[in-house]
Structure 1
Amino acid sequence: MKILLSFSLLVTLFACSEQTNSILNKYTSSDLEQIFESQQINACFTIYDLKNDAKLSYNPERLDSAYLPASTFKIINSMIALETKVIKDENEIIKWDSIDRSYANWNKDQNLKSALKYSAVWVYQELARKIGEEKMNYWVKACNYGNRNINGGIDIFWLNGDIRISANQQIDFLKKLYLNQLPFSQKNQEIVKEIMIVDQTATYTIRAKTGWAMRINNQIGWYVGYIERDKNVYFFTINMDIKNYDDAEKRKLIVSKILDHLQLTK
């Protein structure tokens, strides 16, 4: 009995020591506060270490507040489009409708990879219309995405409709995507993870998506994703108030500064 108790104690101690090994434990919210204050942005941020079940956050009171997902919805929209076969794969060409939308990267034929990269709204609106309200509603609910409410128009609900998602819910969704635990085929989840890559080196890979709810009075910005390195993954989300274009540019800038400060991109 004593041997069993001793072994149990050792296992517990080992587990606890593993839990405190996260690189995030070397930092505090004050480290993040300095970065946000330097950029003069009202926001929240969280980063979650999957292997060590550790989290570091800034302005945690806002993490459960829900907002329009804006273009971060393109992540799930891509998987729904693939799963419902309204698009064959990431290489299928979506013909430009010749409407000038003032963005050179939008005014041309697209595929799923380029549409996500350039956040081409018209492509995802076309995909959403082809998916239809019934199937869109089914998959959003099946994924337990945000408040699961797609009211407001099938091709605009994520831009100024009723759907809302919090920073913590974004992390939960990304974690399921990384682990292939969403109710889509593994193939389709892997395709979307591949087209989400925004930076890749010999040391790390970052998969992420920006979002900017521009069609509302109190504009909101997102940058959500995760970084893989050293056989581990760190999920991150920033949600911030946006007053002008310069603020919008700070979404990725702030996250980049944080990842650098945490030694994750070095």
Structure 2
Amino acid sequence: MQDFVVLFLISNLFLAAFVGLILAVKRIFRRQLSCRMQYHMWFFLLAALAVPFLPLSPNNLYRLFFRLVSPAAGSLPQGTKAGIAFTGEARTETVSAFHDFTVSVSGHAPSALVICLVLIWLIGLMVMLVLLLRSRIYLYRLERSALLLQNPEIKRLFQDCLGKLKVRRRIAVYSTPYLKSPVTLGIFRPRIYLPLHLISDCSAKDMRYILLHELQHYRHGDALIGCLMSIAGLIYWFNPAVRQGLRKMRDDRELACDSSVLELLDESEYPCYGNTLLQFAEKISHCSFPFASGMGGDFRQIKKRIVNIASFRPAARSQKLKGRLAYLVIAAALIGAAPVLSANAVGEEDYAPAEKGPEFTSLDLSAYFGGYDGSFVLYDTKADSWKIYNQELAVKRISPDSTYKIYSALMGLEAGSISDGNSELTWDGTEYPFAEWNQNQNLATAMQNSVNWYFHYLDKRTGKDTVQSYLSQIRYGNEDTSAGLESCWLESSLKISPLEQAELLKKLLAGELPFRRQHIQTVQDALLVRSDDSGRLYGKTGTGAVDGMEVNGWFVGFTESAQGSYVFALNIQGNSNATGTHAKEIALRILQDM
């Protein structure tokens, strides 16, 4: 929750900039965009207000489409970078003496500041809900007291207006003494409410303009838009930029509605329509109902509408075409900027292979994975071909857990923290729940028993700047060590995708990474899982556990045989028991069958 709150606040800064962008675009293109199009510009704000709750990012827009057409089986558990607790028991590999010891990171409680911010937001939300409920109760009482319109002349005018607008749906018209301004209500059961004082004071001409205005609200679905605006105002009550944007949107809605009415009138009637607004300016006021749209407004808004009416000229056909083209260009730009608003995706990165990256042959290996979500990537060095199962998860960056130790060892050897002939580090006497950890370790035993303290100490010897430099050089996932060298790779800030794991191993074996061959050979020897007449298997497991539950299992490595060499990376995800051991068992079955 803490990460989401922080990212949501950041998203709100972008939303404020987004409001400013819309205002700037409207000002720059005010001569090209009609009042209706300027009002429609605000629809992008309503859409943007939903983006922080959606899994969008520039690199994973295609994932959203993929999920729409083929929903994933489940969501990926998220870990934290809090303190480490040891849980579980030693897991013995079935084909070698390698062990996959599991450590668990504990989910930490949100900070006091985050809790305080959430409570303030909830209190504000409750206040807004009370005000909304009060308005809804008043509206309910108004509906109960309203009577169907009885005035025959106004009923005839209303039927003429329906015909002029080609509205075939039956819309009820009511009269009530409890309103100052006419309003249109209802999404599924539209109805118009007229104040009694307007019915008694209006001439037939004025009433015709009022009815045309209200029917334009109905034709353009303003009741639904008003509902969405009210919901947005509830959620973003604390954001002054959003509140200002919604207020401007309401103003533009009335300007657009006026323009739609003017398009139906002769040019000689424009002053008459404006006079109707002026004549009743003191008798109509801003609608206080959040889900309603009406003709009223404050005096500032009435002034803007009068200016708009006075300057209104019907747009020529070429002008309309230019306006539509300008609107489409602006719409494309605003939609392209939307992903940066997503609070869910700010920290959720996917790996986007280069345009000239590898081409994959898709595999269907779902039968091997049982109840786990997972992916498998295989590279054939002889054929220079890639095979992949579940591309959606194969490009998703997740914590590397103990598979990171391959590169920790390489960086330590290159930096001189250990050497090929002397890789032993002394145990400091700290008691661990695994007997294999409670002794001095060299690279081979530390890799075999997945000894975390060995690689923590090794990275410390190598130095953060050096480690960061190497991770950047080899482009290791998101290269994020902000959680600290001891914990960044344990369900925390450092993340890498299965496809990147396989690509790095491919480059490592080809000598394309900045590590000397002798150091690569030393690490390769430490990764040996099995050797027999059919060839050799090298690999490293990794298990990510959060609050004692194993949620992330890895097995990455490569094979060597007379038939050729293969690089692979397999990952499984689950709510529990998703371990490196199980990932290894699945990978071995796939490799043997293939």
TM surpasses 0.5: yes
Residue 53 (structure 1) shift: 2.1
For 2:512, which of 181, 186, 201 is the aligned residue? 181
- Partner-residue secondary structure (3-state), 1:40: coil
Q: Which has the higher strand share?
A: 1
- Partner-residue secondary structure (3-state), 1:48: strand
8 Å contact kept, 1:41–1:247: no
Partner of 1:237: 569
- Partner-residue secondary structure (3-state), 2:542: strand
Supply the AA of the counterpart residue of 1:240.
I
Supply the distance in 2 between the matched residues of 1:132 and 1:246 (Cα, whole angstroms): 32
Change (3 A) 1:90 1:144: farther
The answer to whether the aligner puts 1:193 opposite 2:529 as a matched pair is no
Q: Greater CA radius of gyration, 1 or 2? A: 2
Partner of 2:414: 83
Partner of 1:69: 400
Supply the distance in 2 between the matched residues of 1:246 and 1:140 (Cα, whole angstroms): 27
Change (3 A) 1:65 1:252: same
Partner of 1:254: 586
- Partner-residue secondary structure (3-state), 1:172: helix
Change (3 A) 1:90 1:155: farther
The answer to whether the aligner puts 1:101 opposite 2:440 as a matched pair is no
Deviates more, 1:211-220 or 1:193-202: 211-220
Structure 2: gaps of 5 or more residues: 1-359
Supply the AA of the counterpart residue of 2:398.
Y
Partner of 1:29: 363
Change (3 A) 1:228 1:159: same
Partner of 1:13: none
The answer to whether the aligner puts 1:153 opposite 2:491 as a matched pair is no
Supply the AA of the counterpart residue of 1:33.
S
Residue 57 (structure 1) shift: 2.1
8 Å contact kept, 2:553–2:581: no
Q: Which has the higher helix share?
A: 2
Change (3 A) 1:64 1:220: same
Residue 73 (structure 1) shift: 0.5
Supply the distance in 2 between the matched residues of 1:132 and 1:49 (Cα, whole angstroms): 35
- Partner-residue secondary structure (3-state), 2:478: coil
Change (3 A) 1:246 1:73: closer
Residue 167 (structure 1) shift: 0.7
8 Å contact kept, 1:213–1:219: yes
Supply the distance in 2 between the matched residues of 1:79 and 1:246 (Cα, whole angstroms): 27
Deviates more, 1:252-261 or 1:215-224: 215-224
Deviates more, 1:223-232 or 1:244-253: 244-253
The answer to whether the aligner puts 1:223 opposite 2:555 as a matched pair is yes
The answer to whether the aligner puts 1:130 opposite 2:464 as a matched pair is no
- Structure with greater contact order relative to length (CA < 8 Å, sep ≥ 6): 1
Deviations 1:207-248 (A, max 9, x none): 111111224788311110111112511111111114334755
Deviations 1:42-91 (A, max 9, x none): 11112111111223222122111000111110000001101111112264
TM-score normalised by the chain length of structure 1 = 0.82
- Partner-residue secondary structure (3-state), 2:402: helix
8 Å contact kept, 1:68–1:159: yes
8 Å contact kept, 1:68–1:165: yes
Supply the distance in 2 between the matched residues of 1:131 and 1:258 (Cα, whole angstroms): 37
Structure 1: gaps of 5 or more residues: 1-23
For these two proteins, the number of residue pairs brought into alignment is 234
Residue 249 (structure 1) shift: 3.1
